[in-house]
Amino acid sequence: MTTPDREEVFQVLRELCEHCPDVRFGQLIVNLSYLARGMAHESIWDMEDDELIQAATKQLETLRSREVATV
């Protein structure tokens, strides 16, 4: 993973953790792997960095839109 990609992953994961304080970090990563690769046990192993960024960003956008809708 390149440094800019790594920083992007960390930033998005940090924000996701703030939006989902009750979700354990390991759960978050596994859930993102399922979003990125589908509901298979090997998803966690096969997920590429760019897929993690995409899934995490999409999930963050979903959570943000839900917050706006409830305000």
- Tell me what pLDDT residue 71 has: 63
- Tell me what pLDDT residue 6 has: 86
Q: Work out how many domains the chain is built from and give that number.
A: 1
CA distances from 16 to 19, 31, 41 (A): 5, 12, 22
Give the residue numbers spanning the domain of 37: 3-70
pTM of the model: 0.85
- Tens of pLDDT along 3-19? 888 888 999 999 999 99
- Tens of pLDDT along 12-48? 999 999 999 999 999 999 999 999 999 999 999 999 9
Burial of 3 (0-12, 13-18, 19+ CB in 10 A): exposed
